[in-house]
């Protein structure tokens, strides 16, 4: 949907005889952002579409149609088959790019340990279960996920992770040794300086833990992206109204979560 909208906006500009520099001057959108919008590399806000169509002297029908496309494009669903079409490792590389662009990362996991804190054995287990498209490149995917964790060893984004107690109660295949190693990794993270890790008790009040999601605050554009997971697909939200809702949910979860020694006790109690 985003690429279809991008193509239509570019055609509208060309038909109006405007260069990207001229359109930038008329709309207040930077020339660089216009170029990214036209290639589909960046989402476009509703007010920007409105300004774009006015600058290009579009008729009312075209303006309404493009605004409808823009609203739809701000929330996209991508099936796991589509997400994994280039391989599981490629998907991990995409996540790494988001993380490297971010000034802040807020991640809530309802059923699994966050990828940034997974051990090799745990990552191999969950990535194997997640291979909905049968890519069969598990070793490369695990290596790529572990490579993402280097962000914890250097200055970078503020990272806030919340793990639900249900994720601590899940026992992946691999036996007690696998979980013992993973549990220790979580305990180490509780006191680490580079990440703020919280554990959310099942009995804690607050919003229901419907699905895992991550909020990225991008340093390069000042925009935000929410990536939410379902069984069949990933959902992408960059409409600021939707993002604000997820931020509110994350803050409510964080307010009811345990930190420090209380979080460590919850991790230690996991089987």
Domain assignments of the chain as residue spans, ordered by start? 2-73, 77-268
Residue range 235-261: mean pLDDT, rounded: 93
At the topology level, CATH places domain 77-268 in Endonuclease; Chain A (3.30.870)
Q: How far is CA 2 from the centre of its chain?
A: 17
The matching CATH number, chosen from 1.10.3720.10, 2.70.150.10, 1.10.260.40, 3.40.50.720, for 2-73 is: 1.10.260.40
Q: Evaluate if residue 76 carries a pLDDT over 70.
A: no
pLDDT band for position 146 (cuts 50, 70, 90) = very high
Backbone angles phi, psi at 174, to 5 degrees: 130, -10
Burial of 89 (0-12, 13-18, 19+ CB in 10 A): buried
Q: How far apart are CA 128 and CA 166, in angstroms?
A: 20
Residue 265 pLDDT class (50, 70, 90 cuts): very high
Q: What is the pLDDT of residues 209-246, one digit of tens each?
A: 889 999 999 998 788 989 998 876 788 888 888 899 99
Residue whose C-alpha is closest to residue 75's, from 270, 187, 219, 234: 234
Distance CA 134, CA 145 (A): 18
d(CA 58, CA 200): 51
Q: How far apart are CA 136 and CA 127, in angstroms?
A: 10
């Amino acid at each position: 949907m985003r690429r279809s909208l991008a193509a239509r906006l570019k055609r509208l500009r060309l038909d109006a005889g405007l260069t990207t520099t001229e359109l930038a001057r008329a709309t207040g959108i930077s020339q660089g952002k216009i170029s990214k919008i036209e290639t589909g590399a960046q989402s476009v806000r509703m007010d920007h579409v409105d300004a774009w169509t006015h600058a290009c002297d579009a008729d009312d029908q075209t303006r309404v149609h493009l605004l409808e496309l823009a609203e739809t494009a701000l929330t996209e669903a991508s099936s796991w088959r589509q997400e994994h079409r280039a391989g599981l490792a490629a998907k991990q590389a995409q996540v790494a790019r988001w993380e490297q662009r971010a000034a802040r990362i807020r991640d809530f996991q309802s059923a699994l340990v966050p990828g940034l804190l997974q051990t090799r054995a745990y990552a191999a287990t969950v990535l194997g279960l997640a291979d909905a498209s049968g890519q069969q490149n598990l070793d490369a995917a695990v290596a790529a996920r572990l490579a993402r964790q280097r962000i914890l060893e250097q200055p970078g984004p503020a990272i806030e992770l919340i793990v639900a107690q249900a994720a601590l109660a899940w026992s992946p295949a691999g036996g007690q040794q696998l979980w013992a190693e993973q549990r220790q990794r979580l305990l180490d993270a509780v006191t680490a300086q580079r990440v703020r890790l919280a554990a959310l008790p099942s009995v804690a009040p607050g919003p229901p833990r419907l699905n895992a999601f991550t909020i990225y605050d991008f340093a390069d554009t000042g925009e935000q992206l929410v990536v939410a997971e379902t069984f069949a697909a990933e959902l992408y939200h960059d409409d600021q109204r939707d993002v604000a809702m997820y931020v509110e949910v994350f803050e409510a979860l964080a307010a009811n979560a345990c930190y420090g020694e209380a979080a460590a006790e919850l991790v230690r109690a996991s089987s």
